[in-house]
Amino acid sequence: MLQQTILAVEVSAELIRGVVLKGRGKKITVLDYAGMKRSKPDEDLPAIDSLKELKDTLKYTGKNAVYVTALARSTELFMDRKKVSAMSHYQLSEAAKWEIESYTGISGNNALVGVEKETRPKPSPGEIVYEDETDEIMVNISAIEKNVYVAVRERFKAAGLKLVRVYPPEVSFYMPLFLESPDSPRAILEMGTDYSNFAIFKGRHPDQISTLNFTCDAIKSHLASAIGASDLENSLKFTLTQAPDHEPVVLTGPGAAIPEIVDYLNRLSPSGARPLMLSKAVQITHKETDPADAVFGTAMGAGIRELAGKKMQKVGIDDSEPLIVQIKRNVYVMPLVATSILALGLLGHNQFMKYQERQFKADIKKYAAEVSKNKTTIQKYDDLLKKSTQLKTDIRTVQERISYVNEIADKKLAILVTCFQGIARAVPDGLVLDAVEQAPDTPDTLTITGRTWDLIRVGRFAIAMQDNDWCTAAVLKSLEAAGETRLAFVMQVQINPQSETIQ
């Protein structure tokens, strides 16, 4: 399964933010993120030095990057369903260039666009499906001026990065919800410095996306003025009441980093509100999760959209053209170019093969002389290597024997001496021991056989044995008559090798 890594970059006011994400199949992981002040905050585009510094801070070794910026505009248009269905993605993009001029102010000649058709979620089992009676389909369109895109691409290239796509904030801010229970109804509010965005998700598809005319600075000013209900507060209440029940509204953007605003919206929302909590896998910059990190949500969303697959990438903006379009544009010169390339390739290949032949012959002579010269040395080396291996084996064997004598043999002997001394002290009058045996497979068990006049002496012997701390148990295994007045017994004694007496 192919693994992809992407750097998502966002510029906002005086800051540049970056998020590094890794995608493997359907699993997307946030590796790290960081933000820093821009070297040229007055420019709308990221400075090359800032991009290099951000890349070094995140220790990003890859090349691919996406850029999310408000210079890219997003709009939704209703277009004829039959015409859209008959168009390829490139044809739809070309048609959309001229449709959005009155909405974005970008002329069709100078526009680069990305388009995404409306997709309907699959109905759940047993759900009633109604046919759409309208002849129109909604198309989500992203647009940016071509000269702006080229400038951004060149700046990324100078910083050692390859700009893959540009995304507007409106199509990126809600994408982090895909990492948090994507199948449950959720709502997300991005509070930006110029405007805000609000989206409601029901399942894996946005049910509603709205652009709002209030900013985080406006909310902060409203809280500082201590004025009662206002148009801003009423607008916020109306927006937040649309969120699904029992799920707090997720907050992102610069406003989510201000605790006063988060607390205010949490009180205002019927279901509460909380900042988007980000976690990272690499943790190069810092380790602890911080609610203020929710400002990285929009940049993260652009990276998630890029790694989520080709369908999600379609709304992104790039300047690439399909191969078939490039071929059609150069259809008259293509045969000549193909013939020239083929001729040059064959001629170069012929010369390369001749050069390789000369090189191989020279190398064969050189290596044959070296092999002949070094045969004796190689043989001596092999003999010495065998002797060295045998010597190492002998040394290892001797070391093992010494280790056994020093560490194991003496210890076993000391254990037996201690046990025999304890057994001798425990033997009462009127009891005779015939044998004390130790089986090889059970070295911690001693088998004692003996004779006595009565059972009481056997009991005294067992009790006296258990008075030794090295004896964990003395068990009478058998007792039988050995003549008219004598008894023969067999007793098993369990030894504790870790006893302090033995140690």
pLDDT of residue 282: 60
* Residue 501 belongs to some domain of the structure: no
Give 260-265 contacts, CB < 8 A, sequence gap 24+. Answer: 260/220, 260/223, 261/191, 261/216, 261/219, 261/220, 261/223, 262/291, 264/219, 264/223, 265/189, 265/236, 265/240
217 and 363 share one domain: no
pLDDT of residue 8: 94
Q: What amino acid is encoded at 424 in this protein?
A: A
pLDDT of residue 182: 62
List, in sequence order, every residue forming a beta bridge with 491; answer none if it has no partner. 448, 476
The structural domain count of the chain equals 3
Among the ranges given (19-23, 271-275, 322-326), the one the predictor scored with the smallest mean pLDDT = 322-326
- Phi-psi domain of 126 (left: phi exceeds 0; alpha: psi -120 through 50; beta: other): left
The radius of gyration of the chain's CA atoms, rounded to the nearest angstrom, is 42
pLDDT of residue 277: 82
Q: The pTM is what?
A: 0.62
Confidence of residue 333 (pLDDT cuts 50, 70, 90): low
* Residue 214 belongs to some domain of the structure: yes
Task: Write out the H or E segment, with its range, that includes residue 439.
Answer: none
Buried b (16+ CB within 10 A) or exposed e, 155-173: bbeebbbebbbbbbbbbbb
User: Is residue 325's pLDDT more than 70?
Assistant: no
User: Is residue 381's pLDDT more than 90?
Assistant: no
Domain that holds residue 445: 427-495
* Residue 333 belongs to some domain of the structure: yes
392 and 337 share one domain: yes
User: Is residue 273's pLDDT more than 70?
Assistant: yes
281 and 373 share one domain: no
395 and 444 share one domain: no
Among the ranges given (79-88, 172-181, 398-407, 478-487), the one the predictor scored with the smallest mean pLDDT = 398-407
**Angstrom distance (rounded) from CA 124 to CA 202:** 13
91 and 163 share one domain: yes
pLDDT of residue 10: 92
